[in-house]
Amino acid sequence: MIFLQHVGKRYTTGQEALADVSLELDAGEMAFLTGHSGAGKSTLLKLIAMIERPSRGQIVVNGRNLNSIGNRHIPYYRRQIGMIFQDHHLLHDRSVGDNVALPLVIAGLRHAEILRRVRAALDKVGLLHKERALPITLSTGEQQRVGIARAVVNKPPILLADEPTGNLDPELSLEIMSLFDEFNRVGVTVLVASHDHELIRIMDRRVIGLYAGRLENDPTHAVPHR
Ligand SMILES: Nc1ncnc2c1ncn2[C@@H]1O[C@H](COP(=O)(O)OP(=O)(O)OP(=O)(O)O)[C@@H](O)[C@H]1O
């Protein structure tokens, strides 16, 4: 589903975020991406989502080499990816329902279909009763769940989450992770960047460790003992 082959990323500032990363995530797999601050976790997710482009190497998603996708076609490519961020990026002057509807409005769906799918997504995250509320009136955990509903509303086969529980207490964090778990159980490929080791231990899924822009267990590169 997702292949990275010798991927490197150097930002225009000269900062090397990823040195040489090769990995494979199967369709329907769920994995955690861990590593110290600055290890390159967000960068890796941004490359898969085509928010950034690699400086070296190849990324193939669902059979498509991302190097062959022109900037104009990125919005179409991105329809197969749901992105969830730590600070959920909700529009605060729009209702919860309108926020979740956004990807469908952009995709040009009919009003009735939008309404149906928005309600299904809100129901999935347990927030159907908040459809008309403004995000500001919701708790942090609820806002994060709205962000998740928005990410899954067009049923993308891939979910990428960047520190989705960064602002939440352990109980709410587990709730959010359980949602990802549920999506994964119905076939969605899920990659979650997190440095919440306790949560990752509880979830008991594959862990991909990054250290200074490389895979931690990469046998071709020694990692300092910690
Ligand atoms: N847009 C950018 N321009 C320049 N340098 C960047 C940019 N984004 C990230 N970096 C640098 O690239 C390196 C990797 O950053 P990245 O955000 O991918 O790490 P991370 O593992 O997600 O860290 P954190 O856990 O703190 O979010 C860091 O040194 C960071 O400062």
Query: Which has more confidence, 41 or 221?
Result: 41
What spacing in Å lies between the alpha carbon of 43 and ligand 1's midpoint? 6
Residue nearest to atom 8 of ligand 1 (CA): 43
Query: Could you give the percent of the chain with pLDDT greater than 70?
Result: 96
Please give the Cα distance from 100 to 80 (Å, whole number): 16
Tell me the pLDDT band of 226, cut-offs 50, 70 and 90.
very low
pLDDT at 94: 96
Q: Is 149 helix (H, G, I), strand (E, B) or coil?
A: helix
What is the arithmetic mean of pLDDT over 184-200? 94
What spacing in Å lies between the alpha carbon of 110 and ligand 1's midpoint? 39
Q: Which of 56-70, 81-95, 104-118 has the lowest mean pLDDT?
A: 81-95
Please give the Cα distance from 4 to 24 (Å, whole number): 6
DSSP string, 110-124: -HHHHHHHHHHHHHH
Tell me the pLDDT band of 168, cut-offs 50, 70 and 90.
confident
Nearest CA to 215 among 20, 64, 10, 74?
20
pLDDT in tens, 73-103: 999 999 999 999 887 789 999 999 999 999 8
Q: 41: which DSSP letter?
A: H
pLDDT at 219: 53
Please give the Cα distance from 214 to 121 (Å, whole number): 36
Please give the Cα distance from 209 to 218 (Å, whole number): 10
Beta strand ranges found along 95-180 (DSSP E): 158-162
Structural domains of the chain in order of their starting residue, each with its CATH number: 1-80+157-217 (3.40.50.300), 89-155 (no CATH)
Q: Which of 81-85, 120-124, 182-186, 221-225 has the lowest mean pLDDT?
A: 221-225
What is the arithmetic mean of pLDDT over 145-155? 93
Please give the Cα distance from 122 to 153 (Å, whole number): 9
Q: Decide: residue 35, CB within 10 A, 0-12 exposed, 13-18 middle, 19+ buried.
A: buried
CA 69, chain centre distance (Å): 20
pLDDT in tens, 15-44: 999 999 999 999 999 999 999 999 999 999
Residue nearest to atom 24 of ligand 1 (CA): 37
Mean pLDDT score of the chain: 92
Crossing angle of helices 140-152/96-107, nearest 10°?
A: 20
Proportion of the chain in helix, strand, coil states, percent, rounded to 5: 40, 25, 35
Q: Are 83 and 49 in contact (CB under 8 A)?
A: yes
What spacing in Å lies between the alpha carbon of 34 and ligand 1's midpoint? 13
pLDDT at 106: 87
Query: Which has more confidence, 221 or 132?
Result: 132
